[in-house]
Amino acid sequence: MWRKTVHVAGLALSPPVALAPMVGLSHSALRSLLLQRGGIGLFFTEMLAARRLPHDNARISPLLRTSDGERPLFYQLLVASVAEVGPAVDKVHRLGGDGIDLNLGCPAPLVRRQGAGSALVEDEARLRTILASLRKQTKLPLSVKIRLGPHGDVPALRGRCRFLVDEGVDLITIHARLDGEKFCRRPRWEVVGEVAPDLPVPVFVNGGIFSVDEARHSLELSGAAGLMIGRGAVSRPGLCAAIAAELYGVRSQVEPCGPEETYFSFFGLLEERFAPERRLGRLKQFTTYFAAPLAFGHGLASSVQASGSMAEARDRARNFFQISTSNASHRED
């Protein structure tokens, strides 16, 4: 069993399992759904443009909606210029953030043209300036997430991680795939294991974790202090609770629930947290991943994708689960 509490710049994470920042997914409704299930010790916001953040209204912005239980919560900033750092950090302080994550991974062409995301990690001089400004502006924990680099070269990866530590980063998450590599490719957790154990700050491993066995294997090969779970937590909302219980001995007090109850719980959280025009797109994105492991889940995904309103999506989802229950009863007979 692995150490159940990891300290990041004085912040205790227990269990050391983080929900990954995911555009369109890691919003308040999903964070609250997984909070109900248990097993997560660190939450992240969706990607926030540092240029816009100071002007966003937390009462109405879907990116800034949160609830009291979603803690600790790190705000992920997309920074293109050092001039954006001060006002963005000040806003995070006013929002009560528990930490700041600098986005170094977004590969979107528009983001790269701005010199942000994955383009920033390629420009060491500019990255150093931005990290120095972040470190000067805040005492909050500072985290980053990177990939293995273009070729998985261990000395280069080790050098990049040492650079980040020297510039004041308190937590490094390593997605165990090459730069630009598709999610269908096998994660190279063993490459992380060549670097993580020797670093003076905690390293979380990420990529390809959809089961407790995969979580265990990733920790064994990587030597990481913790885990960051992305799409696996969306497709299996009880996964983090199972990982926390079996690998860290941190057990949730909530009874497991079935797919139908989980789905409509998320549905209700969307209606509670977001304006009507902000709900359906988020439901469709969630459903794509949630439906994937279900028997005949493509039926749920396609019917919800074709829905023109939340009411229509609710009716179609209810019909799917009714048919699924009926078919299961017939199989038992």
Which residues are designated catalytic? 106
Phi/psi for 19 (5° steps) reads -90, 125
Please tell me the distance from the alpha carbon of residue 113 to that of residue 54, in angstroms, as a whole number.
Answer: 22
Q: Are the beta carbons of 142 and 134 closer than 8 angstroms?
A: yes
The two structure tokens encoding residue 323: 């048919």
Backbone angles phi, psi at 234, to 5 degrees: -80, -45
User: Beta strand pairing status for 17-19 and 226-229?
Assistant: parallel
3-state secondary structure of 323: helix
Closest CA to 316 of 306, 326, 329, 325: 306
Alpha-carbon span 176 to 192, nearest angstrom: 7
DSSP string, 262-322: HHHHHHHHHHHHS-GGGTHHHHHHHHHHHTTTSTTHHHHHHHHHT-SSHHHHHHHHHHHHH
Total residues belonging to the chain: 333
- Secondary structure letter of residue 84 according to DSSP: G
CA nearest neighbour of 19 among 42, 35, 1: 42
List beta partners, residue 102. Answer: 77, 144
To the nearest 5 percent, what fractions of the chain are helix, strand and coil? 50, 15, 40
Reading the block at residue 124, the tokens are 């060491």
189 sits in which H/E element: helix 189-192
